[in-house]
C-alpha cells in the first residue's frame, strides 16, 4: 500500500496546511467553474444572453440543494472517518465510506424524481418570469438526470481529501472541469443547443469525475476502500455522520432558500434586470465562498486526525493558522470586489444596462466579505472537531436567523427597496462572523480540555 502524500500527525503544520490547502483551494476554484463557465458562455449568447443567464440563475437553488446533499453525507462522513483513522479504527472508517456511498445513491434518485415532478411551478416560485422560464426549465431538466453523478463525484471526493490525498482530490474536480470547459462551447454554440448544451456538458463532466473517484476508492493507493459488505444503509453508522454533516448541508441548502428570497424580492421590486444582476453577484461571490471553503478543507484533515490521535497542540496551531489565512484571504477578496467590480461583472454579460446595475449591486452585496474568513474558519473547525450541534447553530445563524429576515424586512425600512435587498447580505455576514468568532474563542479551549481529560482517563 502506498504511503499517504502527507503525514497528518508529524509533518510541519505550516507546510502541511499549504500542501493540503493549495490543492483544496484549486479544487474548489475549478469546482466553481462547473456553473460559472456555463453562465459566462450563456450570458454571451447573441440577443438572448441576458434572459438565458437570468433563467439559469433561477435554477441555482436546486443546484445548491443537490450539492448540499453531497456535503451532508460526504463532509460528515469524511470528517467522521478521519477521526476513526486517527484512532486506528480503519474497519469502522471503511464502514462509514460504504454506508455513505449507498445513502448518496438513494438520495440522488429521490431528489431527481421529486424535482422533476415539481419543476415548472417551483421555478416560477424561485423568481422565473414568462421570458426566462423556458431557459430555466431546459437547463434543469437535463441537469437533474445527471444528479447521481454530482453526488458520487462531490460526495465521495471528501473521503479522498480526508486521507491526505489532496492532489488526487484536486484531480477529481480538475478532470471534470476541463471536460466541462471543453464541451461547453461545442454544445452551446457548435451544436446550437444553448442552455441545454450547458447542462449536458455539466453532467457529462460530473460523470467523468464520478468514474475517477470510484476507481480511486477501489484501487490500491487508498487506505479507505469501497467494499461490497459495507454498501448498505445502517443507521447506527449513518446517524453520527448525518449529525456532523447537517451543518455543511444547511450551509449549502439554505443558500437555496436565500437565493429564492433574493430572486422573489428583487423580481417584485426591480423586475428581471435586478434578478439578472443578482445572478451575476451570486456567481462572483460563489467563487470566493468556495475558495474560503477550500482553505478550511485543507485544515480539516489535520485538525480531525490530531484531535483523534490526541495531539492537541497541533490542533491549536492548525486552527490559529487557519483563521489567519482565511481572514487574510477574505479581506483581500473584499478589497478586489469593491475596487474592481466591473472586471468581474464583464465576465458574465456585456449589455450596458445590466452591467451598470450589476456593478453597483456587487459593491453593496460584497461589503461584508472581509469578515467571512472568521466565519468560515471557525465554523469548519467546529465540524472537524465533531461539534455537530454548534456547527448546526452557526450554519442556521447566518442564513436562516439573520439573512432571510433581513431580506424580507429591510425593504420595509429603507426607501430604496432594491438597495435594501442587496444590503441584507453584508449585514448578515458581519453579524454572523462576530457571533461565530466570539463563540469559538469561548468554546475551543473547553473542547480541547475535555478531550485531554478523556485521553488521561483512558491511560488511567
For the chain, domain boundaries: 13-455
Q: Residue 82's pLDDT is what?
A: 83
Q: How far apart are CA 399 and CA 383, in angstroms?
A: 17
pLDDT for 330 = 96
Supply the pLDDT for residue 5: 56
330 closest CA partner among 436, 175, 408: 436
Q: What is the pLDDT of residue 92?
A: 93
Per-residue pLDDT reduced to its tens digit, 158-174: 899 888 787 888 788 88
End-to-end CA distance of the chain: 35
pLDDT on residue 32: 67
pTM comes to 0.72
Of the ranges 52-61, 103-112, 287-296, 372-381, which is most confident? 103-112
Reported confidence tier of residue 320, pLDDT bands at 50, 70, 90: very high
- Give me the sign of the Cα torsion angle 148, 149, 151, 152: positive
CA nearest neighbour of 354 among 54, 45, 35: 54
Tell me what pLDDT residue 249 has: 84
Q: Is the predicted pLDDT of residue 405 greater than 90, yes or no? A: yes
Burial 142-173 (b: 16+ CB within 10 A, else e): bbbebbbbbbbbbbbbbbbbbbbbbbbbbbbb
Q: Render pLDDT for 435-444 as a digit per residue (tens, 0 to 9).
A: 999 999 999 9
Amino acid at each position: 500500500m502506498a504511503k499517504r502524500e502527507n503525514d497528518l500527525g508529524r509533518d510541519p503544520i505550516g507546510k502541511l496546511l499549504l500542501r493540503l490547502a493549495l490543492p483544496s483551494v484549486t479544487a474548489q476554484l475549478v469546482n466553481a467553474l462547473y456553473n460559472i463557465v456555463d453562465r459566462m458562455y450563456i450570458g454571451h449568447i447573441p440577443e438572448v444572453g441576458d434572459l438565458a443567464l437570468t433563467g439559469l440563475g433561477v435554477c441555482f437553488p436546486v443546484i445548491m440543494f443537490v450539492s448540499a446533499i453531497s456535503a451532508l453525507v460526504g463532509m460528515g462522513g469524511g470528517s467522521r472517518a478521519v477521526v476513526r483513522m486517527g484512532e486506528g479504527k480503519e474497519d469502522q472508517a471503511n464502514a462509514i465510506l460504504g454506508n455513505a456511498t449507498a445513502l448518496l445513491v438513494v438520495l440522488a434518485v429521490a431528489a431527481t424524481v421529486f424535482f422533476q415532478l415539481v419543476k415548472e411551478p417551483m421555478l416560477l416560485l424561485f423568481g422565473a418570469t414568462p421570458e426566462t422560464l423556458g431557459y430555466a426549465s431546459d437547463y434543469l431538466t437535463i441537469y437533474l438526470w445527471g444528479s447521481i453523478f454530482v453526488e458520487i463525484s462531490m460526495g465521495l471526493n471528501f473521503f479522498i481529501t480526508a486521507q491526505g490525498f489532496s492532489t488526487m482530490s484536486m484531480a477529481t474536480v480538475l478532470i471534470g472541469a476541463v471536460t466541462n470547459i471543453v464541451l461547453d462551447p461545442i454544445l452551446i454554440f457548435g451544436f446550437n443547443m444553448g442552455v441545454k448544451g450547458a447542462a449536458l456538458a455539466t453532467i457529462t463532466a460530473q460523470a467523468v469525475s464520478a468514474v475517477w473517484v470510484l476507481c480511486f476508492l477501489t484501487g490500491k493507493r487508498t487506505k479507505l476502500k469501497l467494499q461490497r459488505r459495507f454498501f448498505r444503509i445502517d443507521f447506527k453508522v449513518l446517524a453520527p455522520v448525518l449529525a456532523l454533516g447537517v451543518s455543511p448541508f444547511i450551509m449549502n441548502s439554505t443558500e437555496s432558500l436565500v437565493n429564492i428570497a433574493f430572486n422573489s424580492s428583487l423580481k417584485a421590486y426591480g423586475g428581471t434586470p435586478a434578478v439578472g444582476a443578482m445572478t451575476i453577484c451570486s456567481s462572483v461571490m460563489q467563487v470566493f465562498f468556495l475558495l474560503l471553503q477550500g482553505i478550511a478543507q485543507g485544515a480539516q484533515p489535520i485538525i480531525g486526525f490530531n484531535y483523534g490521535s490526541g495531539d492537541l497542540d497541533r490542533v491549536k496551531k492548525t486552527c490559529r493558522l487557519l483563521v489567519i489565512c482565511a481572514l487574510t484571504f477574505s479581506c483581500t477578496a473584499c478589497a478586489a470586489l469593491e475596487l474592481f467590480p466591473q472586471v468581474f461583472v464583464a465576465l458574465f454579460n456585456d449589455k450596458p444596462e445590466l452591467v451598470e446595475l450589476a456593478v453597483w449591486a456587487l459593491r453593496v452585496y460584497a461589503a461584508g466579505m472581509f469578515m467571512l474568513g472568521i466565519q468560515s474558519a471557525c465554523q469548519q473547525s467546529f465540524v472537524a472537531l465533531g461539534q455537530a450541534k454548534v456547527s448546526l447553530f452557526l450554519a442556521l445563524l447566518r442564513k436562516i436567523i439573520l439573512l432571510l429576515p433581513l431580506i424580507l424586512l429591510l425593504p420595509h425600512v429603507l426607501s430604496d427597496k432594491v438597495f435594501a435587498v442587496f444590503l441584507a447580505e453584508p449585514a448578515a455576514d458581519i453579524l454572523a462572523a462576530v457571533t461565530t468568532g466570539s463563540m469559538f474563542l469561548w468554546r475551543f479551549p473547553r473542547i480541547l480540555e475535555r478531550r485531554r481529560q478523556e485521553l488521561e482517563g483512558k491511560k488511567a
